[in-house]
A and B are shown apart, each in its own frame.
Chain A
């Protein structure tokens, strides 16, 4: 592997790009030292910002020839340090590849470059009453290339799927500069499903320069119901009952007492405060179907023991109901100097058991927990409150977080539902996968990138690493990108 600072390499790299797209001075590269998980920082030696596919491929070929590693980054909103710069690697920022190349309203597709923001696709498609369904909370800022790399979700996953369900085709390049055209303009492609393999591969396999996404017709109507419960187990059971009644809600979210209190204090969404949990259930679709579903949801919630049920009767009220949920992370961030956000997913039926175990552990570790939950698809975000300035609390919180993720795996779930592994959860992979499985992951990478030059050290742990836990650590209650709504 060549030294990234070797004059020969740097001179050759500089030649490929206009001067403003090649950054090496620390004051220029420091803004790229972390992604959305700011607790992990590393100032990159070299940042390149190509604005064309030709530049990207030239960079990759040069790096390959010199055996220099490459870390690909989009908008930098990821929450797992997946785009954290690596020592000795070029940071390849694709944010300037930001053109929407084509929208085909009849075929309901958009061809976009990786730096196009998620929400910009829906905005451009709105003229045709179409939209791009996956809506990660950072959708005003995050880019589609990063969404593909992380297989991003959002609050509408249960009904509309993740990124993997909403893309048709990729143009991607291997580290040695070979073009991979993956997927097709039809609904499938010959051979292995490399589209699925690339989605969620965290920049480890190839570099994406173009994505063809599916667009869906905008639902005619969306309506939300808020229900309060005096027991989290009852709220958890109500989630299953709604689904058993044949309704697939567009969004189904749950918050526990501490999260409700924090959100209410922060944004005054009008949530009931004398309850242990609330559910927000949104249904969308054809007008008539929404009316029927709202009726069904109402009946099921009442039969499941809700102490209070409110249906938003205007778009304004609908947005207000959501405002509290969307502000839950920063709201909880006001309760303590620091918190850890976990991202486990569990089978929904395990919810009462898991919440009970979390509250027992909360007492055991002496740290409060607020629970925010994508209840519809079982994705739990326990927020562990602590103060890093108190000796031992950080360690306590880490241990506690580790136990929660172990619990998720134990009940049949996963360590990460939507944030990805990145560097942050790399040790926790060891709890979920056996040595032969981790070995297969390394071999999948080697099939694409035999020299291990793309995003080295991320997503899959080296076997000798399998010892410790990690978790999302928010310093001083400050989220990176505090302006973004958090789900």
Chain B
């Protein structure tokens, strides 16, 4: 199966034929619109190695995320970065290429934090392996983590090794009625205390805080924090992770309203950019449904130490990500040129000119 893909990449390289790498197709909305023939990874299917005692799982990139998570759950383990499934068909390779993480991210780490190694095929059809299956490894540049979030522009990921973690023994979610400014302060204050936080969310006057860990630790933290215990909390976090709550789900009411991901310094006070807002990640991500201009939102995010991503629009997107400074753009072009000299992979998906 891999050989077939490599043969297609060789041919595409020879003929300057653009390719769009696609796993489950659950994140086609993400990034800029690109053109080319679909290079489907679903044939790269299956867990290659899983040793629960090693906390390491290796799987081919086309393996459905759901399959991997089910296997981990049988051994009381999990992908601690809680990658979103966005409709269920998400694959491991797509999750890593998109580099998206879910509610647990600020407390457990991101997709890139859990990547230990990748096998990939570059734009010339050369199969390469970087990193490995061990937790500590400093031989060579960290190319495997460079692939995370590169949206396939540097190569086709064919296999990924990840660090996995034990699932927490107990989990509970508390809710507090709080205004936005107070909720942001609370999220940050609690994160500086030895509490077993594992997710935070604020929307429409309600702060939700998930605690995970040993039952005794969760109980002790619950007693300390107070608040109302939420029933069916796992469904709440699952909906937030997959963006299936009505907030994310409702079609923007006018053509110009779009979903923006404002990544900011977590302590940033209320942005005051409209009421259609959902705060996650201890204050570090503020989802906005907004018709404000790209420039207004990008400048606001930058003033707050971060960046703004046009996450979902109503039409194909051509400027999803915050433009890079000239020095960084040069580096990006240089790296793209080395890994994919003819620019056949996902051209324009990340930035229009490569």
Contact = CB atoms under 8 A, between A and B. Distances in A.
B211 to A, nearest CB: 10
B338 A192 contact: no
A447 B136 contact: no
A186 interface: yes
Contact of A377 (B136, B148, B167, B219): B136
A185 B196 contact: no
Given A289-B213, A443-B338, A192 B306 contact: no
A347 B307 contact: no
B149 interface: yes
Interface stretch (A6-14, A241-249, A264-272, A318-326): A241-249
A291 B215 CA distance: 11
A107 B106 CA distance: 12
A243 B194 contact: no
A65 interface: no
B149 A219 contact: no
Interface in B79-129: 99, 105-106, 109-110, 112-113, 122, 126, 128-129
B134 A414 contact: yes
B216 A412 contact: no
Interface in B164-192: 165-167, 169, 185, 188-189, 191-192
A426 B309 CA distance: 41
A77 interface: no
A248 B165 contact: yes
B134 A201 contact: no
A210 interface: no
Contacts of B141: 197, 200-201, 204-205, 441, 444-445, 460
Interface in B271-315: 281, 284-285, 304-307, 309
Nearest to A376: B135
A347 B134 CA distance: 6
B193 A217 contact: yes
Contacts of B322: 190
B307 A186 contact: yes
Nearest to A438: B140
A379 B142 contact: no
A196 interface: yes
A110 B167 CA distance: 31
B247 interface: no
B136 A379 contact: yes
Contacts, number: 267
Nearest to B220: A288
A288 B214 contact: yes
Given A193-B112, A379-B136, A417-B136, A285 B142 contact: no
A197 B142 contact: yes
Contacts of A248: 165-166
A188 B331 contact: no
Contacts of A162: 136
Given A193-B146, A196-B146, A243-B55, A412 B133 contact: yes
Interface in A263-314: 285-289, 291-293
A174 interface: yes
Contacts of B54: 240, 243, 347-349, 378
Interface of A: 104-108, 128-130, 150-151, 153, 157-158, 161-162, 164-165, 174, 178-182, 184-194, 196-197, 199-201, 204-205, 215, 217-220, 240-241, 243-244, 246-248, 285-289, 291-293, 345-349, 374, 377-379, 412-421, 425, 429, 432-434, 436-437, 440-441, 443-448, 459-460
Given A286-B194, A345-B137, A414-B134, 16 more contacts: A180-B331, A181-B325, A185-B305, A186-B284, A190-B307, A192-B154, A196-B145, A243-B54, A244-B53, A286-B214, A288-B214, A377-B135, A378-B136, A414-B136, A416-B137, A418-B136
The 9 residue pairs across chains A and B that have the minimum distance between CB atoms: A185-B305, A240-B53, A196-B145, A288-B216, A447-B334, A186-B306, A289-B217, A417-B136, A186-B263
